[in-house]
């Protein structure tokens, strides 16, 4: 399953995967480790750091991870393809 937990990429940083196994959904950073103000800041992922958006600040890594949502897609009944159902057909 994609996205069952954050992946540690540094001492105080994690990447969160969701629907796409090759493209991160969010980044988590621990702020003020070991201090009473310790918290986890969650930002959406974008290759351009200026386009990342703050998703929230949380007291635990679990809460930070749970704040990152999956993208829900419309699936046609009986379809195993989901969004790919309307893909162009080869000619």
Can you tell me which residue has the tokens 């704040």? 67
Whether residue 39 lies inside any domain: the answer is yes
Q: What is the pLDDT of residues 73-90, one digit of tens each?
A: 665 555 555 555 555 566
Q: Tell me how crowded residue 67 is: count the other CB atoms within 10 A of its CB.
A: 16
C-alpha Rg value of the chain to the nearest Å = 17
Q: What is the pLDDT of residues 10-31, one digit of tens each?
A: 999 999 999 888 999 999 999 9
Instruction: Retrieve residue 41's tokens.
Output: 């800041």
Which residues span the domain enclosing 70?
7-86
Number of domains in the chain: 1
Whether residue 32 lies inside any domain: the answer is yes
Integer Cα distance of 6 and 14 in angstroms: 6
Whether residue 2 lies inside any domain: the answer is no
Whether residue 38 lies inside any domain: the answer is yes
Q: What SS3 state is found at 77?
A: coil
Whether residue 28 lies inside any domain: the answer is yes
Whether residue 49 lies inside any domain: the answer is yes
Whether residue 77 lies inside any domain: the answer is yes
Whether residue 58 lies inside any domain: the answer is yes
pTM over 0.85: no
């Amino acid at each position: 399953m994609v996205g069952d937990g954050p992946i540690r990429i540094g001492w105080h940083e994690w990447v969160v995967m969701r629907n796409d196994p090759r493209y991160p959904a969010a980044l988590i950073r621990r702020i003020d480790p070991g201090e009473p103000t310790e918290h986890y800041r969650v930002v959406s992922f974008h290759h351009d750091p200026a386009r990342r958006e703050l998703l929230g600040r949380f007291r635990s890594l679990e809460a930070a991870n749970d704040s990152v949502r999956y993208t829900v897609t419309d699936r046609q009944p009986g379809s195993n393809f989901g969004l790919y159902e309307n893909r162009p057909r080869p000619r």
